[in-house]
Amino acid sequence: METAEIARRFLSFFEKNGHTVVPSASLIAEDPTLLLVPAGMVPFKPFFLGQRTPPYDTATSVQKCIRTKDIEEVGKTSRHATFFQMLGNFSFGDYFKEKAIPLAWELVTTPVEDGGFGIDPDKLWVTVYLEDDEAERIWREVVGVRPERIQRMGMEENYWSMGVPGPCGPCSEIFYDRGPEYGAEGGPQADENRYIEIWNLVFMQYERGEGGDKTGFPIIGELPKRNIDTGMGLERLASVLQGVDNIYETDIIGRVLRRAAELTGTRYGDDSDQDVMLRVVADHVRSAVMLVADGVKPGNEKAGYVLRRILRRSIRNLRLLSGSDTAFLHELTAVSIDAMKDIYPDLLDKADVIHGVIDTEEKNFAETLRAGTALFGRVAERTRAEGGSVFSGSEAFQLHDTYGFPIDLTLEMAAEQGLSVDESAFRELMQKQRETAKADARAKKLGNADISLYAQLLEGAGATDFLGYSDSRSESRIKGIVVDGAASPAAREGERVEIVLDSTPFYAESGGQLADTGTLSVDGRGLVDVEDVQKPLPGLFVHRGTVRSGEIALEDTVHASIDTDRRHAIERSHSATHLIHSALRNALGPTAGQAGSENRPGHLRFDFTADNALGGERLAEVEEEVNTVLARDIEVQTQERGLEEALRMGAMAMFGEKYGDRVRVVEMSDYSVELCGGTHVPSTARLGIVKLLGESSIGSGVRRVEAAVGADAFRRLSRESALVGQLSEQLKTPREELPERIDAMVSRLRTAEKEIERLRAAQVLQAAGSIAEGARRHGSALVVAQAAPEGTSGDDLRKLVLDVRGRLGEDEPVVVAMTAVPKDRPVVVIAVNKAGQKAGVKAGELVGVAARVLGGGGGGKPDIAQGGGSDAGKVDEALRAVEARVASA
């Protein structure tokens, strides 16, 4: 039975049994405590916690999941996978054990021809929690499972909680017996390799307290409502129903694995290490496809880092398997999309963008590998030359920060060369880099309040009614006040405050559009300056600001008023973003998808996927097209439609955005049709003018254009015109001839700089003869140890040292050690001739001696090495240390 058919049957069975079929949520978790969705119940977590009221009593879903905790185990076992799908059925205070258990057994054992999975009941075993007599009785008396096939297990195996105070309850699991060739008899208690879990039923009926993690916590009491949360791994069930040994050999993942073997000229099953690499590739490519489809882009933080890490692991494994640097991911991505399309048809619509993102990352990583591997090799060589075995944390951080090397790749490469990595120093540097960004993001998005407080406000006050599409003012009622991170009945003058209203004209920051600002006033009693509006939870508008005067209290009626001039300026920027998006797609094709934006008064930035820079000429064409379209005075129409209807009419959905069943469509004739929840101008002529300010790269395969809009664009053009006028006057050159005149001036300047550099280098090298004459004997070697002439660059220092060494010949050991201080940082270069090397003197070791005195490091080969430090005052001391080491050799 194919995987897609398994998913279809599961949903169909529970739909027939009264469950609402809920589409999979995005892999990007809405829960701010999670990065990605790791389990099928996560989208329903607010319902289980009582934070939100579910719109249905029972539900069923096939949920996309990503787990990276055990990424190093992927491919090594038959069970671990990064991306997987969880089949689940859920009850929110409706049915409980008495219905959940028989439903599970019915679906698993019903013959295939009758719509079930057709598993032989004699192949199944059941586990229950030690003290769960009720579940054991239902399995035995209602379902008819033989008592010897029911085993009781402890909290570690058969009790569920989230690891923190909250809902919990016993579990019951169904296991499939794979047969005696896989292990010992005796059920799950005897061998979980032979008996594999296929379905877990969680009976959520208690509340747990503090203490312990998986065991040892106190049970406080019963929940007000008893819930059902079940999960069955689709891939694991597929391996059972398809009669294969592991999930990597099932129809979907197996297709990617087999194609990877063909492309790399290997065979699956011939070599265990090779098999692990092929399984890693198959898992990671599919995971990458699904992450990109949900809007994740490769990066160095959060979900972007997860994507970058698995893509780069795939690329490196493919190179090791094939022994070449051939690009394979495009072909494997196509295979994965085709294999998954029956379950997720939207992958076909997103195929161009998915290919664009993954192809670009593969191309960029090829360049990263070349540059980063060279740096890694230099550091590794220097580490060994200095007698060390630990790759420094600062160098690992540089590889990550500058070259995009994931730390796990550095760890793998270091291990291959017999080195360890100072991970603690690396983590400390990473943490320092993140602290400021995290603090800023948390302050902006969530203020100081815990997310659970917002959930309580949403549950108590309900969703905020947004009036801002038509109104700039409203009379609203205060439903929640937060001061210093805690709910408060009132707020007084001078206090920073967060306010929830029952309705609001204020737009909350989203979709790239900045929030409105304005005021909330209570007649004769209080005034609040609103500085920002955020939506920490869907439907909840939180107005953040300061009480300017008086006080406000819960249930007060307030006059809410936005700054309309600011709103209109933002609207002009937002509408311009839509036009720029369409113009870019016309210029670059459909792969130029939106990757982020910001719309603020008079200015916008728009991020899009592209392999290469637009170039000045094409950028000018995009700007001209946008201004031509806006001058046509096109009416901007907005209307609400069903999501499927909107997509059929050609509306562009923003990649990675989450949409409900009803969406808002913004149309500018047929030139631009997009799904968008933001606010816009009534017609394009209101934009006035759009001036593109430039284009730049902001990451792998992602570029950014910035633009000024309206009066800001006019002021920008006015300033530029004045500047050009000044240049024209100063250079006595007509405006239209300025580019040629400036190019000629720059060319002459560069030629002069090169000539000055050549003369300076020649002057430095002229000193080689006199420097060589100053050689002194230390032990059996002739040694030159002195500072280079003032102004010597690092490159010239190396040439000078080699020249001096050459003048001293090969008849006896020669060591030349010289220092320079370019840009206020000391550099030391040491060269040893062949006779010196035969005598056991190595440049790499000597440069380590000097560099340590200078407060730095260095390394190189036995014949020449270079190092440096931070203490220029110890140059003479460093040279004397080299002389002493040579004398003692």
Reading phi first (left if > 0) and then psi (alpha if -120 to 50, else beta), residue 463 is in beta
Question: 576: which 2 tokens?
Answer: 């311009």
Distance from C-alpha of 349 to C-alpha of 81, rounded to nearest angstrom: 26
Regions of the chain where pLDDT drops below 70: 32-33, 70, 78-79, 212-214, 402-404, 406, 433-452, 653-661, 699-700
Strand 781-787 vs strand 540-553: parallel, antiparallel, or unpaired? Answer: unpaired
Distance from C-alpha of 105 to C-alpha of 123, rounded to nearest angstrom: 12
At residue 144, the pLDDT reads 95
Q: At 745, phi and psi to the nearest 5?
A: -65, -45
Contact, 285 vs 333, CB < 8 A?
A: yes
| Secondary structure (H, E, C), 638-653 | EEEEEHHHHHHCCCEC
Q: Which residues contact 288 (CB under 8 A, 6 or more apart)?
A: 307, 310, 311, 314, 333, 358
Residue type, 192: E
* Chain centroid, CA 285 distance in Å: 16
Which positions make up the binding site? Answer: 574, 578, 676, 680
Instruction: Report CA-CA distances (Å) from 785 to 564, 567, 776, 792, 820.
Output: 73, 70, 9, 16, 12
Count CB-CB contacts under 10 A for residue 549.
13
Distance from C-alpha of 364 to C-alpha of 814, rounded to nearest angstrom: 44
> At 131, is the secondary structure helix, strand, or coil?
coil
Q: Does domain 570-718 have CATH number 1.10.10.10?
A: no
Count CB-CB contacts under 10 A for residue 738.
14
| Secondary structure (H, E, C), 360-407 | HHHHHHHHHHHHHHHHHHHHHHHHHHCCCCEECHHHHHHHHHHHCCCH
Question: 20: which 2 tokens?
Answer: 């609402």
CA trace torsion 429, 431, 437, 441 (10° rounding): 170
Fold of 768-888: Diaminopimelate Epimerase; Chain A, domain 1 (3.10.310)
Q: Where are the domains of the chain?
A: 3-245, 250-436, 451-562, 570-718, 768-888
Do 3-245 and 768-888 come out as alike in CATH topology?
A: no
Which positions make up the binding site for Zn(2+)? Answer: 574, 578, 676, 680
Q: Does domain 451-562 have CATH number 3.90.79.10?
A: no
3-state DSSP helix/strand/coil percent for the chain, to nearest 5? 45, 25, 30
Tokens 């920490």 appear where?
A: 536
Q: Which residues contact 408 (CB under 8 A, 6 or more apart)?
A: 72, 309, 313
Contact, 292 vs 362, CB < 8 A?
A: no
Strand 390-391 vs strand 420-421: parallel, antiparallel, or unpaired? Answer: parallel
> At 23, is the secondary structure helix, strand, or coil?
coil
| Secondary structure (H, E, C), 513-580 | ECCCCEEEEECCCEEEEEEEEEEEECCEEEEEEEEEEEEEECCCEEEEEECHHHHHHHHHHHHHHHHH
Distance from C-alpha of 454 to C-alpha of 536, rounded to nearest angstrom: 7
CATH of domain 3-245: 3.30.930.10
Distance from C-alpha of 808 to C-alpha of 776, rounded to nearest angstrom: 11
Question: 843: which 2 tokens?
Answer: 């440049």
